């Protein structure tokens, strides 16, 4: 069955890239654990010659993710960071990126500590005000790189407005859509040129594998990124491709439950007398609530709240029992973390201060457990401060 965009989201999630195996009829896609492929004669292959360049399980996942984001093709990499690195591999010394000043901390670490050494240039702006993006664009700007909502401050960027500005200046827009997943936000509909995900998070959804993807809107991007996969080699293994393929089949049901639980937990936290503030785009108090309603079809389950001090944050994190304290997000289990010392340690104290990321902030990725159990756990943890 050819899966075109006329099918609904879950139909695409379950069927795109998932046709029964032609040789056996197996309904679940085979994991092609092979490095190489027998060739019938010199130059005559069945479409695959070496697994760095291509693997049938990877092809299936790439078809699946392209169908979910509404792109023409997708390219998967060994982690979200490898996918960001692949964007940089499309550039040359002297090229420039305008990036949001609040991104997952590993992204500015890659940009500032590796890519600047190779001659790439970066300017960071508060992209919530799109005029800042326009001011920062230079003749050498190739990409505008945004994350919306941002990790961990939950700030939004207007994808359509940024895309219009970038296109007027001949640059492309890359959107990290990890927090929303294509179920709640499809940046290509608003003009984005490339959609990035850490598939480690909601797309896989079970905290059991790393991965990254770039969904392309043109054949040219797809060809160049295929070349990057082959030439630079940071590809996703067949087993992890299979895990993500399996994960996306339940993406819609998981995201609905994440969203339902996320709203309940955000409401609970915002009514708690010991919580100073809550950042969640689904709260009417969020400064960009209107934009969230226009650009997203749900609010997801990422919430950051202010406990008031490092000591308070530490106490909450030590006391949780149902929530797991650890890095990462987007799994079926609730994960709770301390951005200042974990995901955003790499940007340094100065960098955190500049964007308003405090030591008292705690980030929670609300899972799909029974929400009463999550609330009860937070209640007893917050009682400690």
**Which residues contact ligand PLP (rule: CB under 6 A)?**
79-81, 104, 106, 147, 151, 176, 178, 198, 200, 210, 212, 343
Catalytic residue among 60, 176, 183, 352: 176
Q: Is 274 a catalytic residue?
A: no
CB of 8 to ligand PLP, least distance (A): 26
Which residue's Cβ lies closest to ligand PLP? 80
- For 227, list phi and psi in degrees, rounded to 5: -65, -40
Q: From the CB of 104, what's the least distance to ligand PLP, in Å? A: 4
Per annotation, catalytic residue among 12, 60, 75, 104: 104
267 flagged as catalytic: no
Q: Where are the alpha helices (DSSP H) in the chain?
A: 9-15, 56-69, 80-88, 106-110, 130-136, 159-168, 181-184, 219-232, 238-248, 251-270, 289-295, 310-319, 348-355, 371-382
Told to judge if 201 belongs to the known catalytic residues of this protein, a careful annotator would answer yes
Q: Which residue, 80 or 367, is less far from ligand PLP as judged by CB?
A: 80
Taking a C-beta distance cutoff of 8 angstroms, is the pair 83, 213 a contact? yes
- Residue 178's nearest CA partner among 69, 338, 17 is 69
Q: Closest distance between ligand PLP and the C-beta of residue 240, in Å? A: 11
The distance of closest approach from Cβ of residue 188 to ligand PLP in the complex, given in angstroms and rounded to an integer, is 18
Of 274, 286, 295, the C-alpha closest to 378 is 274
Is residue 256 within 8 Å of residue 300, measured between CB atoms? no
Active site residue 104: yes
Q: Residue 26: CB partners within 8 Å, gap ≥ 6?
A: 20
CA distances from 181 to 74, 140, 211, 220, 297 (A): 15, 31, 14, 24, 11
Q: How near is the Cβ of 105 to ligand PLP at its closest, in Å?
A: 8
Catalytic residue among 201, 254, 263, 314: 201
| Between 245 and 382, CB nearer to ligand PLP | 245
Cα separation, 217 vs 158, in Å, equals 19
Of 191 and 300, nearer to ligand PLP (C-beta) is 300
99 versus 382: smaller Cβ distance to ligand PLP:
99
> Whole-angstrom Cα distance, residue 215 to residue 196?
6
| Residue of 21, 49, 52, 126 with catalytic role | 52
Select 145 or 268, whichever has its Cβ closest to ligand PLP.
Answer: 145
Residues serving a catalytic function are: 52, 104, 176, 201
């Amino acid at each position: 069955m050819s899966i075109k965009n006329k099918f609904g989201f879950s139909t695409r999630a379950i069927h795109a890239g998932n046709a029964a195996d032609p040789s056996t009829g197996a309904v679940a896609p085979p994991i092609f654990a092979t490095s190489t492929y027998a060739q019938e004669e010199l130059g005559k292959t069945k479409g695959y010659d070496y697994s760095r360049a291509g693997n049938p399980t990877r092809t299936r996942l790439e078809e699946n993710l392209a169908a979910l984001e509404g792109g023409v093709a997708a390219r998967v990499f060994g982690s979200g960071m490898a996918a960001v690195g692949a964007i940089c591999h499309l550039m040359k010394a002297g090229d420039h990126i305008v990036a949001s000043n609040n991104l997952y901390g590993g992204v500015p670490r890659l940009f500032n500590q590796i890519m600047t050494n190779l001659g790439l240039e970066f300017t960071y702006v508060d992209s919530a005000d799109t005029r800042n993006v326009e001011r920062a664009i230079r003749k050498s700007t190739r990409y505008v790189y945004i994350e919306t909502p941002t990790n961990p401050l939950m700030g939004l960027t207007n994808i359509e407005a940024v895309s219009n500005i970038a296109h007027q200046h001949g640059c492309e827009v890359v959107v990290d859509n990890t927090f929303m997943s294509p179920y709640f936000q499809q940046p290509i509909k608003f003009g984005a040129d490339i959609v990035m995900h850490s598939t480690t998070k909601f797309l896989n959804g079970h905290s059991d594998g790393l991965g990254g993807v770039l969904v392309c809107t043109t054949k040219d991007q797809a060809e160049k990124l295929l070349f990057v996969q082959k030439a630079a080699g940071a590809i996703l293994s067949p087993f992890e491709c299979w895990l993500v393929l399996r994960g996306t089949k339940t993406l819609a049901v998981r995201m609905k439950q994440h969203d339902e639980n996320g709203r309940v937990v955000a409401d609970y936290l915002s009514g708690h007398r010991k919580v100073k503030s809550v950042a969640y785009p689904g709260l009417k108090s969020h400064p960009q609530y209107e934009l969230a309603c226009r650009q997203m079809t749900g609010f997801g389950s990422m919430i950051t709240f202010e406990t008031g001090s490092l000591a308070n944050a530490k106490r909450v994190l030590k006391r949780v029992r149902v929530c797991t304290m650890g890095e990462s997000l987007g799994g079926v289990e609730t994960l709770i973390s301390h951005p200042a010392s974990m995901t955003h340690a790499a940007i340094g104290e100065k960098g955190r201060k500049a964007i308003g990321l405090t030591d008292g902030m705690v980030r929670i990725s609300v899972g799909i457990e029974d929400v009463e159990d999550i609330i009860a756990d937070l209640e007893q943890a917050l009682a400690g401060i």
